Amino acid sequence: MKVNHVNAVCRAAKGILSSHFGLDVEYKTPVAGANAIPSNDVSVVLGVNGEVNGQIVCAINEQTAKNIVGMMMGGMTIENLDDMCWSAIQEFGNWVAGSTATELSKENCLIDVTPPMVNDGQSNYRSSEQFITVPLASSLGLIDIHISLYQKAS
């Protein structure tokens, strides 16, 4: 995994939170891991294909999900995650995906991102590849960005 690819994903996620929601975002200490990637209460899974392959998983707790959806819906208070909320979380994933593709293109790395898949409920994703987790803190809550991107074999 190249540091410039990880940094591009982090810039993308931070940029979405800053530009779409007007938030101050702070990077917390990154952690490297392998085998199990925790999903938290809600996660958005993005597949990456192209000059790099892998996954990006944005994991949040339920309250952070409600806060994100509420901001997306003009500041509404969200009591329960219903079908419209799940659609909004998926759209948040689309925003991160599009911004990631743009940031990686600035690194001369062209990718396609699969449509986001949303996971409801705590679980662990299993992978044979290593991942880097970069926590992003904001007033909406903590978002763990799990990144596992690898160059295609030549």
Does residue 59 register a pLDDT over 70?
Answer: yes
pLDDT in the model for residue 153: 65
pLDDT in the model for residue 139: 94
Does residue 154 register a pLDDT over 80?
Answer: no
Report the predicted TM-score, pTM, of the whole model to 2 decimal places: 0.91
pLDDT tens for 68-123 read: 999 999 989 999 999 999 999 999 999 999 999 999 999 888 899 999 999 998 88
pLDDT tens for 4-56 read: 899 999 999 999 999 999 899 999 999 998 778 888 899 999 999 999 999 99
Does residue 142 register a pLDDT over 90?
Answer: yes
Beta bridge partners of residue 120, listed in sequence order? 42
Phi, psi for 139 (deg, rounded to 5)? -70, -15
Which residues, at least 6 apart from 72, have a Cβ–Cβ distance to it below 8 Å? 20, 88, 91, 92
Does residue 136 register a pLDDT over 80?
Answer: yes
What is the DSSP secondary-structure string of 133-154? EEEEEETTEEEEEEEEEEEPP-
Q: Which two tokens stand for residue 95?
A: 């925003």
Give strand ranges (E) for 18-110: 26-27, 31-38, 42-50, 52-60
